[in-house]
Structure 1
Amino acid sequence: MMNFTRCHTLILRSIRFAVIAFTCTLLFVSNALPASANTAPRTRASEGSVQLDTIQEKSEAVTKAPPLSRKETQREANKGLNEVQGDANINDMYRPENSNATSIIDQVEEALENVTGRE
C-alpha cells in the first residue's frame, strides 16, 4: 500500500511539473509571436517618411490655426480619409472597393443555399 502511495505521488508531481512547464512555454511563445503577426503591405521607408512628414506639417498647421468651421472640416475630410491625413496611404488601406471579402449577408445566403440544397 505504501509503494502505491509513493508511486501515485510521484506521478502527480510529474504531471504537475509537465503542466507548469507547458504553461510557462505557452506564455513565453504567446508573448513572442504577436511581433511576427504583422502582415501589412510593405512600403519603402522613404515613401512612408515623406507621407508622415506632410501629415505632421498639416497637423501642426491645423493646431496653430483657429478652429475650422463645419463646412471647412467637411470639405477637407472629403479630400481623403480625414481632414488631416488627406489621401496618404489610401491605396494601401483595405476598403470594400479594393477587397475581395464577401459581406455577411452574402455569407448567410450562401450558407442557407448550402443547407437547403438550392443553388
Structure 2
Amino acid sequence: MEITLLIKSVMGLIVILAVLIFLLFLPSTKKKKQVSQQKNDSSPDSPIVSNETQNTSLEYLRSVIKNKKSTTSELKNALELVIKHHGIVHEKIGERAHPDFDIYMDILFTICRHPNTNKDVILTLTAL
C-alpha cells in the first residue's frame, strides 16, 4: 500500500513538472505586443525634445535616468540639465550631509549602473 502511494506521488510530480516545462517554452505574444507598443509610443514623444519644452524638475530628470530604456543621448541630456539647473551640492549640516546629497548620490549610482551608459556620460558628472 505504501509503495503504490509513493509511485502515484512521483508520477503526479512528473506530470506537474512536464506541464510547467511546457508552459516555460510556450511562446508568449504578450511580450511582443508590449515591445511594439513601446516603440510606437516612444517614437513621436521623446523625453527631452527641445529647449522650449524641456522639463527641468529634478524628479523628472531622475525618472529619465532611472528608466532602463533611456538611450545614451537621453541620459547625457538629462545629466546636463541636472548640472545646469540643480548643480549646487550644499555643504554639510553640522555632522551630517545635506538631504539633497542623497539625491545626487542616487543619481551617480543609477547612472553608473545604467545599461546604456558609457564613460563620457559618467564623466559629465565631474562638472558637478
Name the TM-score, length of structure 1 as normaliser: 0.35
Query: Higher relative contact order by CA 8 Å / sep ≥ 6: 1 or 2?
Result: 2
Larger radius of gyration: 1
